Amino acid sequence: MYYQGAVEGAANTESGSRVFVYEVVGLRQSKETDQTNYQIRNSGSVFIRVPYNRMNQEMRRITRLGGRIVSIQPISVLQQINGKASSEVASEAMSKATSAKSAHEGNGNATPVKAESPKQQQPKNKDTKGNTMTQAKAKKDAHADVPVNIYRPNAPFIGKCISNDALVGEGGIGIVQHIKFDLEGGNLRYVEGQSIGIIPPGVDKNGKPEKLRLYSIASTRHGDDVDDKTVSLCVRQLEYKHPETGETVYGVCSTYLCNLKPGDEVKITGPVGKEMLLPPDEDAKVIMMATGTGIAPMRAYLWRMFKDNERAANPEYQFKGFAWLIFGIPTTPNILYKEELEELQAKYPDNFRLTYAISREQKNPQGGRMYIQDRVAEHADELWKLIKDEKTHTYICGLRGMEDGIDAALTAAAAKEGVTWSEYQKELKKAGRWHVETY
């Protein structure tokens, strides 16, 4: 997966206008509700339009008025049909906006890695009804042994391409490659969830050497061959229309990587990142939500958990917990690593659950395209129950637009127990159990 740097121009004109509809029951008639525009009935549901930045404030207000939120659905104030909100149009608009936002790779800016928090603070236990969080304080030196910045841009490691294999099946959309690099002769070490930098050859539009781009590592610390001599990436060739000229533009680094031949030399930096590391607990519960090449770190996790040769190489880590991957892709041929994922599911049915959201083939309950946020909404109560377990870690990787819909679904699930999701999520982050890298 590639992390985009600064995004130029036009792409996301709707991001500030995202609106959700709360379906509420039990609102009572009162002096306060008389001053609102709510259409209060003696029975049945009330539907309230809420901007994204007021979701939690409105949820607390509804609770004060005796109401209970039973569902939350995304809409857009820019798209309505016959006066009624269309979830399909909203989902499509959200997808287009985030796709455009991720499209502009060729600006030469490396994406900064999120700074590591110098301290992991003890979550404050709150008396909020339904809040079952009891996590212990995260150790501030928990990741002290994780390697970072072994190779820097001014002195990169020169690796060699070993293989470059297509991941998109016939009839699929775009080009995505699984690329394996030889690390022999160097000292590049990494763990699952980290990233490496790639410096493409040539100069940028200003005549300066191209800057590095970061990509999530798609292999375990032992590499695809389990010999500690390789590292692998999952790379999509970026392709988009220039917003002014309409010309087709290809991403500089992604095109370079997708066209590599075995034996080609590559400048590699890193590794970097501690945000997406797996817990060492063999009994952990791991929720993974990915879109497209956001599958890269999830693949590394799953291989470490379940692959026979990996388990043989890691006698100190024999995963016995539960992992659930929710994977968003446009078509069936775009299911990256499909055969390998489904093989793991068949072999470990009690420990690994695989759920697809195939947007151009499946429909959500409103008849629109099935995006990952729709799958999360469908399983929100199950996910919420898992998330409350102190052994659960949640990982999100892919397009940034997926986060709003996930938050909306979990807001509704938490609200059924009187819990404010945004506050609960903050405690998860402090406890080191909520991990996000989106672009």
Query: Is residue 340 annotated as a catalytic residue, yes or no?
Result: no
Angle of helix 402-415 relative to helix 55-64, nearest 10 degrees?
10
Residue 85 amino acid letter: A
Indicate which residue of 253, 397, 424, 427 is catalytic: 397
The residue annotated as part of the active site, out of 38, 190, 215, 240, is: 215
Helix/strand/coil (H, E, C) string of 28-69?
CCCHHHHCCCCCCCCCCEEEEEEEHHHHHHHHHHHHHCCCEE
Quote the CA–CA distance of 101 and 14 in Å, as a whole number.
11
Please confirm, yes or no, whether 216 is among the known catalytic residues. Answer: yes
Neighbours of 87 (CB within 10 A): 20
Strand partners of residue 197: 214, 269
Residue 207 CA: distances (Å) to CA of 156, 203, 223: 20, 5, 36
Contacts of 332 (CB under 8 A, 6+ apart): 169, 172, 338, 358, 361
359: annotated active-site residue: no
* Set 216, 219, 232, 254: catalytic member: 216
State CA 360 to chain mean position distance.
19
Residues 6+ apart with CB under 8 A from 199: 153, 156, 209, 210, 211, 212, 267, 268, 269
**Token pair for 99:** 């796709």
Q: Which of 3, 371, 395, 439 is labelled catalytic?
A: 439
Based on the residue annotation, tell me whether 397 is a catalytic residue of this protein: yes
Tokens linked to 388? 């409350």
Backbone angles phi, psi at 202, to 5 degrees: 95, -170
Q: What amino acid occupies position 253?
A: C
* Alpha carbon separation from 189 to 2, 88, 179, 312 (Å, rounded): 20, 45, 17, 19
| CA dist., res. 199 & res. 211, Å (int) | 6
Q: Is 342 designated active site? A: no
Structure token pair of residue 158: 């020169």
Please, are residues 359 and 251 in contact by the beta-carbon 8 Å criterion?
no
Q: Are 164 and 261 in contact (CB under 8 A)?
A: yes
Residue recorded with tokens 């819909």:
405
Q: What are the residue numbers of the active site?
A: 215-216, 397, 437, 439
